[in-house]
Homo-oligomer: A and B are copies of this chain.
Amino acid sequence: MNRERLKGHLDLLLLSVLTAGPAHGYSVISELRRRSEGTFDLPEGTVYPALHRLEDAGLLSSSWATADGRRRRVYALTAPGAAALAAERTEYRHFTRGIQAVLGWSA
């Protein structure tokens, strides 16, 4: 997948994964890869800064956890985050409708 295509859609993906429940960064990456069947195999350098940004924006909250001697930062969707996700979904649909209209796809 051409990376440029992802731009502007990353937050949608991250917030979406976290609707299933709190998760740490590494597992978010795995889950994204698993759900998309390899289409979205994002480097850590993409995901971690994005999670930090979303937390700074108040859309996620995080806390440290330890499992098997490894420390993890676990992220959870906040109420504003859920609202932002809903907005992202709406915008995404708007976007795809626009593309389809231009392409002449009735779908």
Q: CB of A57 within 8 A of chain B?
A: no
Q: How many copies does the complex hold?
A: 2
Q: What is the bound-complex CA distance between A29 and B88, given in angstroms?
A: 25
Stretch in A31-39, A46-54, A64-72, A75-83 touching the partner: A31-39
**Chain A interface, DSSP helix/strand/loop, else mixed:** helix
Total A residues in contact with B, Cβ cutoff 8 Å: 32
Chain B residue with the shortest CB-CB distance to A7: B7
List B contacts of A21 (CB < 8 A).
none
Chain B residue with the shortest CB-CB distance to A40: B98
Check A1–B98 contact: CB distance below 8 A. Answer: yes
Check A89–B101 contact: CB distance below 8 A. Answer: no
List B contacts of A17 (CB < 8 A).
102
